């Protein structure tokens, strides 16, 4: 418990959980990309062929989020109590808007995660379009996604949440390297560019789906 009660221990645990969450985002994006090849229903069927594993993964991600958020709030409160310093930012890293708003983007992401689970996993927010089958008697994930994002309000919520994810990752990747002492004055530009690049790739990958649907590039013909 001494490790978890120390500032260093909390930062290390945050860095590890953050890294695992980024890996999850990468894998999840690869799965979502099947929508562009009309394979999302087959992917969904394969993924859900073992429900216990699916829910174990979901619960695991929720636990990682919970740990990450808990220690993020704890560190923020401790930092604010000790000195008026931005979340996980040292003098060696330039303070940015992304860094200053980490706690707020984190809370937005947490709220969005709850909505996302209710929307696509538990299917309670839009039940009228969430329980149909395709011609092969598979869950029609393609229809559910397209009809959902044709609603400009839902698409807007996802784009706003993904913007928060972008800002959070932009600074989070930099903080990961800093936590393990892997940054220096010489490496800071590389660290910043790496963080921005990872955040931008994930943002564009995820946001491309609702945008493509709103623009009519991806359509559902029932």
Q: How do residues 113-164 score in pLDDT, each as one tens digit?
A: 999 999 998 889 988 888 889 999 999 999 999 999 999 999 999 999 999 9
- Residue-wise pLDDT tens digits, 83-123: 654 444 444 445 677 778 888 999 999 999 999 999 998 88
Q: Is the pLDDT assigned to residue 53 strictly greater than 50?
A: yes
Euclidean distance between CA atoms 96 and 112, whole angstroms: 23
Please report, in angstroms and rounded to a whole number, the separation of the first and last CA atoms in the chain. Answer: 57
How confident is the model at residue 92, as a pLDDT? Answer: 44
**2-214: what fold?**
3 helical TM bundles of succinate and fumarate reductases (1.20.1300)
Euclidean distance between CA atoms 173 and 186, whole angstroms: 17
Selected residue with higher pLDDT from 182 and 199: 199
Query: What's the average model confidence in pLDDT over 56-67?
Result: 89
Domain boundaries, the chain: 2-214
CA–centroid distance for 48 within its chain: 21
216 Cβ neighbours under 8 A, 6+ residues apart: none
Report the half-sphere exposure of 205 (CA within 13 A, side-chain side): 17
- For residue 199, name the pLDDT band (cuts at 50, 70, 90): very high
Query: Could you tell me if 142 and 168 are in contact, meaning their C-beta atoms sit under 8 angstroms apart?
Result: no
Query: What's the average model confidence in pLDDT over 66-88?
Result: 76
């Amino acid at each position: 418990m001494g490790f978890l009660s120390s500032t260093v221990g909390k930062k290390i645990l945050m860095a590890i959980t953050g890294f695992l969450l980024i890996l999850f985002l990468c894998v999840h994006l690869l799965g979502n990309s099947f929508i562009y090849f009309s394979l999302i229903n087959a992917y969904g069927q394969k993924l859900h062929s073992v429900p216990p594993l699916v829910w174990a993964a979901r619960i695991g991600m929720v636990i990682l989020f919970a740990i990450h958020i808990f220690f993020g709030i704890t560190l923020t409160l401790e930092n604010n109590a000790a000195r008026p310093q931005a979340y996980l930012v040292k003098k060696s890293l330039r303070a940015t808007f992304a860094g200053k708003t980490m706690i707020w983007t984190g809370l937005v992401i947490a709220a969005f995660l709850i909505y996302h689970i209710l929307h696509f996993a538990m299917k309670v927010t839009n039940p009228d379009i969430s329980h149909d089958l395709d011609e092969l008697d598979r869950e029609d994930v393609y229809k559910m996604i397209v009809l959902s994002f044709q609603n400009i309000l839902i698409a807007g919520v996802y784009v706003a949440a993904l913007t928060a994810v972008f800002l959070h990752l932009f600074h989070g990747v930099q903080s990961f390297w800093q936590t393990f002492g892997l940054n220096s004055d010489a490496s800071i530009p590389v660290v910043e560019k790496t963080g921005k690049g990872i955040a931008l790739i994930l943002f564009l990958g995820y946001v491309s789906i609702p945008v493509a649907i709103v623009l009519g590039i991806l359509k559902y013909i029932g």
